[in-house]
Amino acid sequence: MPDSTDNPFTYADAEVIVRSSDGVDLKLHKSILSVASPFFSTLFSLPQPSIETSVTMTPPNEESSLPVIAVTEDARTLCGLFRLVYPIAEADLSTLPQVAAVFGAAKKYQLEQAFLNSQKQMLAYAESHPLRTYMLGCFFKDAKITRAAARASRSLQTVVRYVDEMDSVTASDFCRLLIYKEQNVQDLFKNFDWIPRGIPSVQANDGTQPETIAWNAEQKPNWFRCESCSHTEEDKGGYWREDGKASEWWEKYMARVATELQNDDSQGGACAVSSENVAEALHEGSTCEGGCAADESVQAFHAFTRYLAGEIDKKVYIELKF
């Protein structure tokens, strides 16, 4: 079999050969592969007819004194992959297609450390090549890569252009990116008309259903009807504007969350329910002589922050179908 000058896997004490699609033999150790990968551990431990895998292992024969596993990846991809497994220098993966090929192989063969290392490299490409990386994230069904690339795509003037990686995904994958790119989480803080009418509360359930927020529409929350609290003059809409203004401490809370998201929207709705932001808001509200952040309002405010967190997540997390 031909060999490759870039193939360092020629160990004399090897126990198995992994043969690339372009005919290069990588002589490897079963012990290392078994520890690194459940896929190979299963392959080596059970009789071949009992294994449902995408590869088969040919027993030693006249051609080879070692069992041979023929795979569909080329030698460059395999060498890059197993360099992430063995304690030797990693491959110089200088292009996105090379990194993607190694990432796909690491996922396929369940090589966890190689998967994490190549995923990290893919995430780096999400910043410099967001559109191409988004398509690859969809193809590999990796939510972390897909979301990072979608977020980075907001810096692009347009995503309506062809890249080769589009051939591997569906039209709906691309359509979701177009919809996502039009969303802007800051819209939640420019106008408050999206807030439902009423006092919010967390709807009780047995823990088997997603959390929902119920709204008692008979009256407004205290922070929307307090006559004693300081108010801002800016009108951002909302049903309470009919006869009053939002309390200043509440609007300061909203402004803090908006600023955090403007600086880094990767945290999503978590910033709306963070103990620091909630505690600061309630502390500021406690100085109001009208008691718009008194004990009876605390639960309602906590429910509101959870509702806001959900609305933020709808804006900053692209909907995925995998």
- Among 225, 321, 310, 243, CA closest to 273: 310
25 and 91 together in one domain: yes
What is the model's pLDDT at position 247? Answer: 86
155 and 245 together in one domain: no
What is the count of structural domains for the chain?
Answer: 3
Q: Give the position of tokens 């870039």.
A: 6
Q: Which band of pLDDT confidence, cut at 50, 70 and 90, is reported for residue 50?
A: very low
What is the rounded average pLDDT of the residues 26-30? 97
Structural domain of residue 81, as residue ranges?
1-109
192 and 302 together in one domain: yes
| Residue 280 identity (one-letter amino acid) | E
Helix axes 112-128, 130-139, angle to 10 degrees: 150
Whether the full predicted model's pTM is greater than 0.85, yes or no, is no
299 and 284 together in one domain: yes
Strand ranges in 60-155 using DSSP code E only, listed in sequence order:
68-70
DSSP state letter for 95: S
143 and 204 together in one domain: no
Q: What is the pLDDT of residues 192-250, one digit of tens each?
A: 889 999 999 998 877 777 789 999 998 888 888 888 877 666 777 777 666 667 888 99
* CA 52 centroid distance within chain: 30
| Cα–Cα separations (whole angstroms), residue 105 to 119, 218, 247, 256 | 11, 58, 56, 43
* Alpha carbon distance 313, 305 (integer Å): 12
198 and 307 together in one domain: yes
Strand ranges in the chain using DSSP code E only, listed in sequence order:
16-19, 25-28, 56-58, 68-70, 199-202, 213-216
Retrieve residue 314's tokens: 């709808």
| Cα–Cα separations (whole angstroms), residue 68 to 12, 20, 47 | 15, 10, 15
Q: What is the pLDDT of residues 129-146, one digit of tens each?
A: 999 999 999 999 999 999
Domain C-terminal end among 138, 165, 182? 182
Residue 122 belongs to some domain of the structure: no
Domain C-terminal end among 46, 77, 109? 109
Do 238 and 251 meet the contact criterion of CB atoms below 8 Å apart? no
What is the model's pLDDT at position 244? Answer: 63
* Alpha carbon distance 181, 189 (integer Å): 18
Residue 124 belongs to some domain of the structure: no
Retrieve residue 273's tokens: 């329910």
165 and 254 together in one domain: no
Indicate the pairing of strand 16-19 with strand 68-70. Answer: parallel
Residue 65 belongs to some domain of the structure: yes
Residues facing 17 on adjacent strands? 27, 68
Do 258 and 284 meet the contact criterion of CB atoms below 8 Å apart? no
Residue 292 belongs to some domain of the structure: yes
- Among 194, 196, 183, 146, CA closest to 168: 146
What is the total residue count of the chain?
322
Residue 273 belongs to some domain of the structure: yes
Residue 114 belongs to some domain of the structure: no
| Cα–Cα separations (whole angstroms), residue 135 to 26, 55, 95, 236 | 31, 26, 15, 38
* Alpha carbon distance 22, 302 (integer Å): 60
297 and 212 together in one domain: yes
- Number of alpha helices (DSSP H) and beta strands (DSSP E) in the chain: 12, 6
Is 2 a residue whose pLDDT tops 80? Answer: no
193 and 294 together in one domain: yes
What is the model's pLDDT at position 49? Answer: 47
* Alpha carbon distance 112, 285 (integer Å): 49
Is 53 a residue whose pLDDT tops 60? Answer: no
34 and 98 together in one domain: yes
Residue 118 belongs to some domain of the structure: no
194 and 312 together in one domain: yes
Residues facing 279 on adjacent strands? none
Residue 309 belongs to some domain of the structure: yes
Task: Calculate the average pLDDT of the chain.
Answer: 89
Domain C-terminal end among 162, 182, 202? 182
270 and 193 together in one domain: yes
Indicate the pairing of strand 213-216 with strand 199-202. Answer: antiparallel
* Alpha carbon distance 252, 233 (integer Å): 13
